[in-house]
Structure 1
Amino acid sequence: MRILILCTGNSCRSQMAHGWLQSFDSKLEVYSAGTKASGKLNSKAVEVMLEARIDISHHTSDSIEKYLNDEWDYVITVCGGANESCPTFNGKVKHRLHIGFDDPSEAVGTPEFINSEFIRVRDEIKKAFYELYISKLKSDE
């Protein structure tokens, strides 16, 4: 099963979702991309995922353009707030889903608060994507 996770910058939320989903089932082909890909991962996202024993440091921040000609079973957008416009994907897709999350990279405050926002969003992504995996993506064994 081929899954593409989309966000705007492809540096934080989509990368965490990519990492979680791949950790649930190594047989899934999971990719992530952004409409305005930053070209780098958010270091705090890498850090909090590593704390959860998921290493996303090898991921790349890719433009959606790289995947437009591919066929996908699922394309999932993860942008959240009203200030964001979720990317649209015009490629070949069987199922389109939106599961929105706050952007922890926009958190302001003390280092402790910012860290807690990254952890909160990381854990929300894990819960939502695990529920999706169990309900729709898990291959029959």
Structure 2
Amino acid sequence: MKRVLFLCTANSARSQMAEALLRHHAGDRFEVFSAGTEPAAPDPRALAVLQAVGIDTAGLYSKSVDEFADQSFDFVITLCSKAHRECSRWPAGGVVLAWDFADPASSDEPEAFGKTLQAIGRRIQLFIEVNSKATDSLYSSLSPVDFYKALADEIRLKCLLLLLDRELCVCELVEALQQPQPKISRNLAQLRKSGLLLDRRQGQWVYYRLHPLMSDWMREVIATTRDHNRDFLSDACARLDTDGVICNG
């Protein structure tokens, strides 16, 4: 069974929801945990919306991330930007994913907890679907030559750098790179075909992110390239920031 750790700040709502949802839908395939960087008690409203849809909340309690410091996980998934900044270099983690959901506790909307549960539930279903497929063989068959060929184009390289640790729609990449939509879509399709990107459709929009099962060495190459070439992305990041998308660095 693959081990999954969900992280957020208080471990009171979002990560508790994610833990309960994944255990409910795929507890036979994943060993699931959650923790917080500043743990507090579970929010009764989070427990209530889980119970309302028939999900068992027994045994849920807030835990510190320090409790898991000597353990290893196949996936470490952060559910807020603060936790991701603090734990993105999780020492014993495998694949680190950033799922950034707004904190329902800070919302005045009456249905905030229910809507957050639905949003996390959709992401959990996608996570289960992706990791139920035999995709590990993809990266054993993708040669280093093919990987570097995928990077040997300015548009494709910038797309990969911008998509590190985040998900963006085609329209955001078009705006960031100032290129025609067909050209961006064509290059994204090539990256998806190579197995480096995963896409999902939400309404009329298509969103892309790095494939969660990408080999660690490939992800490290992309991260190192971005971290040592900030100027290469500065204009694109500025355009994303204008649209309210935070660009790392």
Q: Which residue of 1 aligns with 2:107?
A: 107
Q: Does structure 1 residue 130 correspond to structure 2 residue 130?
A: no
**Which residue does the alignment assign to 1:13?**
14
Contact 1:16 1:56 in 2 (8 A): no
Q: Report the counterpart of residue 119 of structure 1 in structure 2.
A: 114
Tell me the TM-score normalised to structure 1 length.
Answer: 0.85
Write the letter of the residue equivalent to 2:72.
Answer: E
Deviation digits for residues 62-88 of structure 1 (CA, Å, limit 9, x no counterpart)? 0000001101000000115xxx45331
CA distance in 2, matches of 1:11, 1:139: 31
Measured after TM superposition, the shift of residue 139 of structure 1 is 7.4
Counterpart CA distance in 2 for 1:75 and 1:6 is: 7
Looking at structure 1, the residues matched to 83 and 77 of structure 2 have their Cα atoms a distance apart, in angstroms, of: 14
| 1:41 counterpart SS class | coil
1:1-141 aligned within 5 A: 1-27=2-28, 28-38=30-40, 40-79=41-80, 84=82, 86=84, 87-88=86-87, 89-108=89-108, 113-114=109-110, 116-136=111-131, 138=132
**Contact 1:71/1:93 (CA < 8 Å) preserved in 2?**
yes
Does the 8 Å CA contact 1:34/1:63 hold for their aligned counterparts?
Answer: yes
Q: Distance in 1 between matches of 2:107 and 2:58?
A: 21
CA distance in 1, matches of 2:56, 2:25: 13
Larger radius of gyration: 2
Evaluate the alpha carbon distance shift between residue 62 and residue 128 of structure 1 in structure 2; reply closer, same or farther with a 3 A threshold. Answer: same
In 2, Cα distance between equivalents of 1:85 and 1:45: 19
Question: Which ranges in structure 1 are unaligned for 5 or more consecutive residues?
Answer: none
In structure 2, distance between residues paired with 1:48 and 1:132: 21
**Partner secondary structure for residue 57 of structure 2:** coil
Do the aligned residues in 1 keep the contact of 2:3 with 2:74 (CA within 8 Å)? yes
Amino acid at match of 1:10: N
Counterpart residue identity of residue 47, structure 1: A
Length, aligned pairs only = 130
Preserved contact between residue 8 and residue 83 of structure 2 (Cα < 8 Å): no
Task: Give yes or no for contact 1:79–1:101 (8 Å, CA) kept in 2.
Answer: yes
Q: CA deviation at 1:105?
A: 0.6
| DSSP 3-state at the match of 1:54 | coil
**Given that residues 37 and 62 in structure 1 are in contact (C-alpha distance below 8 angstroms), is that contact kept between their aligned partners in structure 2?**
yes
Q: CA deviation at 1:91?
A: 2.7
**CA contact 2:11–2:42 (8 Å) conserved in 1:** yes
Q: Which amino acid aligns with 2:95?
A: H
Distance 1:119 1:76, change over 3 A: same
In the superposition, relative to structure 1, how do residues 85 and 7 fare at CA in structure 2: closer, same or farther (>3 Å)? Answer: closer
Percent identity between matched residues is 28
| 1:82-105 residue CA offsets vs partner (Å, 9 max, x unmatched) | xx4533153311110011111101
Cα contact 2:4–2:74 (8 A) shared by 1: yes
CA contact 2:6–2:33 (8 Å) conserved in 1: yes
Q: Cα distance, 1:10 vs. partner?
A: 0.2
Residues 21 and 55, structure 2, Cα contact 8 Å, conserved in 1: yes
